[in-house]
Amino acid sequence: MSDKIVLLPDNIANQIAAGEVIQRPASAVKELLENAVDAGANDIRLIIQDAGKSLVQVIDNGSGMSESDARMCFERHATSKIRQIDDLFHIRTMGFRGEALASIAAVAQVELKTKRAEDEAGVCLEVENSVVTKLEPVATPTGTSIAMKNLFFNVPARRNFLKTNASEMRHIVDEFTRVALAFPAIRFTFTANGEQLFHLEPGSLKQRIVQLLGNNYNAKLVTVKEHTDYLDISGFVGKPETAKKTRGDQYFFVNNRFIRSPYLQHAVMNAYQELIPGDSYPMFVLFIDLDPAQVDVNVHPTKQEIKFEDEKIVYAFVHAAIKHALAQFSVTPTLDFELDAGIQQLSSIQQPFTQEKQSAAAASLLFRGFSQKHQAHLIEPGRQSFPDWNDFYKTENVETPASSGSSTAQNESGLWGKTEDDAELFQLLNTYIVTPSQKGFLLVHQQQAHERVLYERLTAASQGQPITSQPSLFPVNIELTPSDAVLLTELLPDLKLLGYLVEPFGKNSFVIQGTPADIDNDNDKHLFDFLLEQYKHYSTDIKFTPREKLIRSVARQQAIKTGVRLTEREMKNLLQDLFSCQQPNATPDGRPTYLEFKQDELEGMFRR
């Protein structure tokens, strides 16, 4: 019987190993940018074609490599960072295992041009399928240019798993943002398909944050800076009013390396407790600097998950640093006892309180209720506070669906069957609609009910019944952050089906040419900010398609909000629409649209 175990060929072994490090174009972007940083560059250029599927190129002005190093850098585990195992626990560079270039060369066609300052000429090297196919001298500036072409050209199955160009571009922008935030002293430029998306000049961390995350943070950042013997914490957190429904603008860096840590995110959330709603997330860009021996960065191929030697002490320092920063900058609410100057101009202050006015005030019920005994609940003879109080409880004249001959809006269970003419509707707290049912009454949440109605309407629109769009009399121009601009570009076709006519208008700008005809909105910028935030909120749920995420986001954005006063006609229309839905009892994400209170249950509450 022949032996069954054989050694894999190098090219296949490299492709398998590459799957851990290079999962998509953004993975290569991260590795190449970090290599440029490690080379000591202060000017780094990223060039992308076809969302990285055709080309990912990084050009830097760093130290460059010799011909021998250029050949060796594509070998697996070839590294200049480690000589002995103890070095692994004192790492301060971004890369150190020698996996990135070897992995890229296993799944793409690579061209490398590099030159050291002391060399007269550089070297050009081409690699395909982990094999060097070209090596020759070349005239090139000091530094390194590495181009990764045709990702997964030799692994078609892996290439088929890549997402749309817009989706892959969002991942690339995310990786670029993380590296650019970590090194604000370096000049970064980012060009995609011939268009420059970013040009980031060297500057302060605050300037870099505003450039990357949006100008709206410019005056809403709180400085965090704490020095201890164990670690240093620095960076910025957003004021409570900048909190969003998604975790998007949250960045932790340990020794300048971006990390993911739900544990430390919890420390930040605890520091914001009672300052922001429970379903909102604060913005932060925080740098933790500590002895590399206290942290293990070698626990995951992407190095984004790390282990601290003492997690609890890091948690405590992060929590305390943010609490201190928020308190120091007086972010918590304070009472202002200074009288507003505008109050002094009111007529009640300016005009004299004459004797006649004093007598009239003293004779009023309100004055006596505060100034005399036993007057607070006095009802004058012949006056009733609520003349129709008894009528409030009359139900004997209310027709049931069975006895009414007119049309009804009724769901399958027959909960609500009032006609347009005889339904008794009341609005409580500008949030809930109270309406009689056959066995008691319903308490309808107006926002959640409207969300269900809109969801089913938008779903129908996406399946071939487009919603009519109302052209804007004065088209509105909106400018987004680069990452949000990439996201909106991906959503434009589906938005059109839902009644939104939006067109690209240059770099990161869009023109809103029309909105759904039945939607009244006077702030298009806020509309799209909210819409994108909702979409990103749903984007973590993999069971939804992009279109489903968008429909849920638009339904949430367009729904009547709590606190809005509704007319009786608006309440009736909402209930008719709700109970005409296929599933009227819950929102798309499972929250109830109404609660039913039955008569026998109510009587039980009153022990009858």
Tens of pLDDT, residue by residue over 89-107, are: 555 566 554 567 888 888 8
- Asked whether residue 568 carries a pLDDT value surpassing 60, the answer given is yes
CA separation for the pair 357, 345 (Å, rounded): 20
3-state secondary structure 172-193: HHHHHHHHHHHCCCCEEEEEEC
- Asked whether residue 56 carries a pLDDT value surpassing 90, the answer given is yes
Return the minimum-mean-pLDDT range out of 27-31, 369-373, 560-564, 589-593. 369-373
Contact criterion met (CB below 8 Å) for 257 and 298 = no
The per-residue pLDDT for range 484-506, each reduced to its tens digit, is: 888 888 888 888 888 889 998 87
**pTM for the structure as a whole:** 0.70
- Asked whether residue 77 carries a pLDDT value surpassing 80, the answer given is no
- Asked whether residue 536 carries a pLDDT value surpassing 80, the answer given is no
The larger pLDDT score, comparing residue 168 to residue 300, is at 168
Handedness of CA 286, 291, 295, 299 (dihedral sign): positive
Long-range contacts of 529-533 (CB under 8 A, 24+ apart): 530/557, 531/557, 532/480, 532/484, 532/487, 532/488, 533/244, 533/245, 533/246
| The pLDDT of residue 316 | 92
- Asked whether residue 352 carries a pLDDT value surpassing 70, the answer given is no
Return the minimum-mean-pLDDT range out of 12-16, 24-28, 66-70, 152-156. 12-16
| The pLDDT of residue 145 | 96
Structure tokens at 242: 């900048």
CA separation for the pair 5, 16 (Å, rounded): 17
| The pLDDT of residue 338 | 46
| The pLDDT of residue 356 | 72
* pLDDT bucket at 592, cuts 50 / 70 / 90: very high
Structure tokens at 145: 């240019």
* pLDDT bucket at 297, cuts 50 / 70 / 90: low
| The pLDDT of residue 523 | 64
CATH for 403-608 is 3.30.1370.100
The per-residue pLDDT for range 245-267, each reduced to its tens digit, is: 777 789 999 999 898 888 888 99
- Asked whether residue 422 carries a pLDDT value surpassing 60, the answer given is no
CA separation for the pair 143, 123 (Å, rounded): 11
Structure tokens at 328: 């120091």
Alpha helices in 151-307 (DSSP H): 156-160, 165-182, 205-213, 262-271
Identify the burial level of 132 via C-beta atoms within 10 angstroms of its C-beta, where 0-12 means exposed, 13-18 middle and 19 or more buried: middle
Q: 205-328: which CATH number, 2.40.10.230, 3.30.300.180, 3.40.50.620, 3.30.230.10?
A: 3.30.230.10
Structure tokens at 269: 């959330």
Query: Which H or E element spans position 203?
Result: none
Burial 429-466 (b: 16+ CB within 10 A, else e): eebbbebbbbeebbebbbbbbbbbbbbbbbbebbeeee
Handedness of CA 415, 416, 422, 425 (dihedral sign): positive
Residues β-bridged to residue 258: 253
CA separation for the pair 322, 325 (Å, rounded): 5
Contact criterion met (CB below 8 Å) for 188 and 198 = yes
Mean pLDDT of the chain: 80
Please count the other Cβ atoms lying within 10 Å of the Cβ belonging to residue 121: 12
User: Could you state, in order of their start, the residue ranges of all structural domains in the chain?
Assistant: 10-200, 205-328, 403-608
- Asked whether residue 405 carries a pLDDT value surpassing 50, the answer given is no
* pLDDT bucket at 410, cuts 50 / 70 / 90: very low
| The pLDDT of residue 426 | 87
- Asked whether residue 465 carries a pLDDT value surpassing 80, the answer given is no
Alpha helices in 183-305 (DSSP H): 205-213, 262-271
- Asked whether residue 172 carries a pLDDT value surpassing 50, the answer given is yes
In 3D, which of 50, 108, 38 has the Cα closest to residue 80?
38
Residue 46, SS3? strand
Query: Which H or E element spans position 152?
Result: none
3-state secondary structure 436-493: ECCCEEEEEEHHHHHHHHHHHHHHHHHCCCCCCEEEEEEEEEEECCHHHHHHHHHHHH
Q: How far is CA 13 from CA 4, 79, 103, 130, in A?
A: 17, 19, 10, 10
- Asked whether residue 80 carries a pLDDT value surpassing 80, the answer given is no
- Asked whether residue 1 carries a pLDDT value surpassing 80, the answer given is no
Alpha helices in 135-257 (DSSP H): 156-160, 165-182, 205-213
The per-residue pLDDT for range 120-168, each reduced to its tens digit, is: 999 999 998 888 899 999 999 999 999 999 998 888 878 888 888 888 9
Contact criterion met (CB below 8 Å) for 237 and 268 = yes
The per-residue pLDDT for range 272-287, each reduced to its tens digit, is: 988 888 778 899 999 9
Return the minimum-mean-pLDDT range out of 521-525, 528-532, 595-599. 521-525
**What is the average pLDDT across 552-573?**
89
CA separation for the pair 422, 559 (Å, rounded): 26
Give every CB contact of residue 99 below 8 A, 6+ residues apart in sequence: 17, 21, 76, 77, 301
**What is the average pLDDT across 399-423?**
46
Residue 263, SS3? helix
In 3D, which of 167, 173, 286 has the Cα closest to residue 224?
286
| The pLDDT of residue 374 | 59
Residue 131, SS3? strand
Return the minimum-mean-pLDDT range out of 72-81, 417-426, 449-458, 592-601. 417-426
* pLDDT bucket at 344, cuts 50 / 70 / 90: very low
N residues, the chain:
608
Please count the other Cβ atoms lying within 10 Å of the Cβ belonging to residue 63: 16
Can you identify the CATH homologous superfamily of domain 10-200?
A: Histidine kinase-like ATPase, C-terminal domain (3.30.565.10)
* pLDDT bucket at 321, cuts 50 / 70 / 90: very high
